[in-house]
Amino acid sequence: MRLLLLRHGQTPSNVEGILDAAYPGPGLTALGHEQAAAVPAALEGEDITAIHVSRLLRTHETAAPLAAALGLNPLLTEGIEEIRAGDLQGKQDAASVEAYQGMHHRWSAGERDAGVPGGESADEFWARWNGAIARIAAQHAPDATVVVVSHGAAIRVFASVVGGLGAASLAERPLFNTGLVTLEGSPETGWSVQGWHSDPLGGKHLLRGAAHDVTADDDATAKA
């Protein structure tokens, strides 16, 4: 199977640098909608079978232009939501952002700890994401290409670990809004990373205005 893990478009929380993983979450900014509108042309060469989205509004809005272009109905899949921010939800101070980022770095290195206060543990995250990806794979043929519209920190951690990439800082392995990580494999045989496209699929010009990229959804403070 070919999994295209697509990060959603820009949200107001991204612009303000706010840790925001709560349901239903904000919708997209004007730039976020522009980023989403560029996705169909960027993925024109892919034979996409299905589009899966999380419970959060921003993934639905990001998927909409691609779904319309392909004549598909996005499939709501619980479990592919962002890594929970716990007691840090809604915060934007440097200490909170660093604590959230530090958790991602440890988890990407394979460490299994309790995470941030009030949030989920590494084991809970892995069970949630592995279970969701297994359910997605079970719905489609082994050679299918499937888009999964999800969230920055969750995609970075999941892909880094299953792909054996090891830990990396956000600066070393960024994933901006509508960036894409491509995996190939299966839940049974494992996954390999075939591509890591950090910039928006429509081009670097779609980074404009992205002053902060705090991905609780939205992981960290990255200048663009």
CA distance 96 to 93: 6
Residue 98 Cα distances to 5, 8, 95, 215, 221, angstroms: 25, 22, 5, 11, 9
Report DSSP letters for 163-180, one per residue. TT-----TTTS---TT-E
| Positions marked catalytic | 8, 82
Facing residues of 185 across strands?
Answer: 191
Q: What angle do CA 144, 24, 110 make, to 5 degrees?
A: 60
Cα–Cα nearest to 64, from 74, 56, 55, 76: 74
203 burial class (0-12, 13-18, 19+ CB within 10 angstroms)?
exposed
